[in-house]
Structure 1
Amino acid sequence: MIGMLWGKILLTLRNPGALIASTIICMAFAYLTGQSAFVKIEIPMYSSADGSNEEIIEELNKGDTFSFVLQTEDEAKKKVAEGNAEAALELGQDSYVIYHAGASQNLQLLNQYIGRYYMKSVQEQQIVQLADDPVAAEKVFQEAEKEPAFQLVLSSFNQKDAAEYSQPLQSLFGFTLFFSIYTVAFTVAEILRDKQSGLWDRFILSPTSKAEMYLANLLWSFLVGYIQIIFVFLVFKFGAGIDFNGRFGTVLIAVIPYLFSIVALSIFLTGLVKTMSQFNSIIPLISVSFAMLGGAYWPIEIVSSELLVGVSRFIPITYGMEMMKGAVVSGNSILDMLYPVAILLLMGVILMGLGIRLIEKRHV
């Protein structure tokens, strides 16, 4: 079995093109669909008012959309004129000016964002000025920001549990699980290729048992998919700044039962088809359908059809997305994932048993 595993490794190293291409495409799709959350819009700004510019920038940069950079007036306006920035911001004592070369959707968002900041600032100044002791009033404001007196909880009267959502994580998890189907499936399909070329019969005549032959192929298929997923997650963790809310290790554990079910699904599909051309035609159909119904392209929570939601419960991607988003977004523990893990393991055992039986019965 070790020899077969080593042979699979060498074969992959000689022809890594398909694996590299699928990994790059996966990262490109995940980045582009979640780009608005990965990259903030840089806005050069300068101030004509007295005060600490650092404190103003720190307060403005707490938002998720814009990144404000302090520059001189000439530098800020030059960037806008050359098209290197959508807008430049001039901050005054009680007013602000936005310089821009053309209209864009982000200008309205910028105007609303800065307007809210000034409205809050003016209100605080008026309250402090009207207070008997302005210094004490300023301290009260600072303490209230650190420890607010009230905690507001938002809920909807027509929705019991509002689903938590993160666009970058939705894109990253969805496309990673989607493209891993291709990686795993075409690696498992080497069994079919070996049977067609007669290499499988030569393995049977060798001292290696059939169990070891299947185990070597399926183990390598799992490892290739797992390595690809780890690599993609590491790139986004250190390259795009996705911190996984401190649950990176939990995500890597959660993906294991999903990959097991995909390996089992691939061996089942290998047993159903007779030729590689049939396999090549059925995999895109299966993977795209699973991604659409399982919530890889969009959150499954927004689907209102009970029929489609019911169908999604038979798709591995549904449980893979549920586990990973639950771990990172909702903070679920390993124990909270036992139900989807059990479902994926059950799917894997059933599909793998059926797949191996079909392969053994079918003479290719």
Structure 2
Amino acid sequence: MKGIFLARLTSFFRSPGTFLLFTGMSIVFTLILGGVGGYDKITVPVSGDESLQTEFIGEALEESDVYNFKWQEVEDLKETIRRGNAEAGVILKENGYEMIVGIDSSNVQMIEQTVADIYVNKIQEENISELLRTENEEEREELLMAYQEAKENPVFGITNRTFHSSDAFIFDRSLHSIFGFTLFFVIYTICYTVLPIFTQKGNGVWDRMILSPLKKSEMYIGNLIYSFFEGYLQILVIFFVFRYLVGFDFNGELPGILLIMAVYSFAIVSLAIFITSVVKNIQQFNAALPILSVSMAMIGGAFWPIEIVQSEFLLTLSKINPLTYGMEALNGLVLYNQPIQELLKPISILILMGVIFMGVGIHLMERRHI
């Protein structure tokens, strides 16, 4: 068993082309389609006196979590809007502002509301400061105490809540792309590492190896451990690239993600054994694998959220798809902040699928006369 694993490992170092191809495709597709590593804020050009940049208004604009307010000259701002590089721009003044709209969209109203709120806060601060500058020392102290008490104990409290109905779901394009393309492309990597079992048995290599002290079970285990190793190595590379090079933190759930991916890799190794036990030759394998993997990705929610699928037939098919439960467990952990204990159902189903596919696949492979 150890010798088989080391032999396969040596072969991997000599020709890692397939591994590098699917690993690279996972990363590139995610970066292009998922927008990972991109700048999420909407850029809004603004113009005004230099003094405004360092005063209350400028500081408030920089603190915006939604918009990236970029200071420009008035003519440059107008040119930016004219070319369609921004939906709207703002010309700031001491006591007001002017909106220049290029594309009338919902963002324009939100931008205007953001700027208007800043001016309202500025006026309130100025009015309070004016009151506190009264010449009556006793009155100023009373106003100051009242102001501080109002800040510490506001009359009205505002609480933001997000409600999700039973039909609602959370969608993060970047996370979905990372999870979806990783689960999709690792199918190819693992299946092509299992294929040598099929070819070696067909060429009589295993028959000659059985004459040695090596047991057939050890030959299976050695090959399957290697298949798991290469597939899981691809997953590790992808997630470490996005975590430590791109800077995607996965909401601090990377250890849990890797645990789920280990279970998913086991299920795909078992599925690969089942596929090789059903096909009759390499040509059938090469034809069946793309059809099966793409179908699994489409039905299982790798390319788009499974929640938007309306077909009952497709939803039923997704119940026998390992990729469905991989996506469910990953989304539950990262997007819905569910602990691992609450994800035992999809994880257990993946383990059960792995055991069934492995058992049936090896049984059919041994029964078939090659």
TM-score normalised to the size of structure 1? 0.84
**Map of 1:95 onto structure 2:** 97
Instruction: Confirm whether residue 281 of structure 1 aligns to residue 287 of structure 2.
Output: yes
**Map of 2:112 onto structure 1:** 115
**Map of 1:360 onto structure 2:** 366
**Map of 2:311 onto structure 1:** 305
Checking the alignment, whether the CA contact within 8 Å between 1:45 and 1:76 is kept in structure 2 is no
**Map of 2:298 onto structure 1:** 292
**Map of 1:7 onto structure 2:** 7
**Secondary structure at the residue paired with 1:363?**
coil
User: Cα 1:332–1:35, aligned 2, differ >3 Å: closer, same or farther?
Assistant: same
| Whole-angstrom CA distance in 2 between matches of 1:180 and 1:351 | 17
User: Cα 1:129–1:176, aligned 2, differ >3 Å: closer, same or farther?
Assistant: same
Given residue 97 of structure 2, which amino acid in structure 1 is its aligned partner? S
**Map of 2:135 onto structure 1:** none
Checking the alignment, whether the CA contact within 8 Å between 1:296 and 1:321 is kept in structure 2 is yes
| Whole-angstrom CA distance in 2 between matches of 1:141 and 1:122 | 21
**Map of 1:263 onto structure 2:** 269
1:224-239 aligned within 5 A: 224-239=230-245
Per the TM alignment, residue 35 of structure 1 is displaced from its structure 2 partner at its CA by 1.4
User: Cα 1:36–1:86, aligned 2, differ >3 Å: closer, same or farther?
Assistant: farther
1:51-66 aligned within 5 A: 51-52=55-56, 55-60=59-64, 62-63=65-66, 66=67
Write the deviation string for residues 99-139 of structure 1: whole angstroms up to 9, x where unpaired. 9xxx6x7x856644431211212333455567795786986
**Map of 2:25 onto structure 1:** 25
Checking the alignment, whether the CA contact within 8 Å between 2:182 and 2:238 is kept in structure 1 is yes
Given residue 115 of structure 1, which amino acid in structure 2 is its aligned partner? E
User: Cα 1:163–1:138, aligned 2, differ >3 Å: closer, same or farther?
Assistant: farther
Checking the alignment, whether the CA contact within 8 Å between 1:189 and 1:270 is kept in structure 2 is yes
User: Cα 1:211–1:144, aligned 2, differ >3 Å: closer, same or farther?
Assistant: farther
**Map of 1:337 onto structure 2:** 343
Checking the alignment, whether the CA contact within 8 Å between 1:128 and 1:138 is kept in structure 2 is no
Write the deviation string for residues 36-56 of structure 1: whole angstroms up to 9, x where unpaired. 783335566554253157623
Structure 2, unmatched stretches of 5+, are 133-142
**Secondary structure at the residue paired with 2:63?**
helix
| Whole-angstrom CA distance in 2 between matches of 1:122 and 1:141 | 21
Given residue 247 of structure 2, which amino acid in structure 1 is its aligned partner? G
Per the TM alignment, residue 150 of structure 1 is displaced from its structure 2 partner at its CA by 2.8
**RMSD in angstroms over aligned alpha carbons?**
3.4
**Map of 2:140 onto structure 1:** none
Given residue 60 of structure 2, which amino acid in structure 1 is its aligned partner? I
Per the TM alignment, residue 265 of structure 1 is displaced from its structure 2 partner at its CA by 0.6
User: Cα 1:143–1:54, aligned 2, differ >3 Å: closer, same or farther?
Assistant: farther
Which of the two has higher C-alpha Rg? 2
Given residue 229 of structure 2, which amino acid in structure 1 is its aligned partner? L
1:41-60 aligned within 5 A: 47-48=48-49, 50=52, 51-52=55-56, 55-60=59-64
Per the TM alignment, residue 149 of structure 1 is displaced from its structure 2 partner at its CA by 1.5
Q: Percent identity?
A: 37
**Secondary structure at the residue paired with 1:291?**
helix
Given residue 191 of structure 2, which amino acid in structure 1 is its aligned partner? A
Per the TM alignment, residue 233 of structure 1 is displaced from its structure 2 partner at its CA by 1.1
Given residue 158 of structure 2, which amino acid in structure 1 is its aligned partner? F
| Whole-angstrom CA distance in 2 between matches of 1:201 and 1:322 | 42
Structure 1, unmatched stretches of 5+, are none
Checking the alignment, whether the CA contact within 8 Å between 1:187 and 1:221 is kept in structure 2 is yes
TM-score normalised to the size of structure 2? 0.83
**Secondary structure at the residue paired with 1:162?**
coil
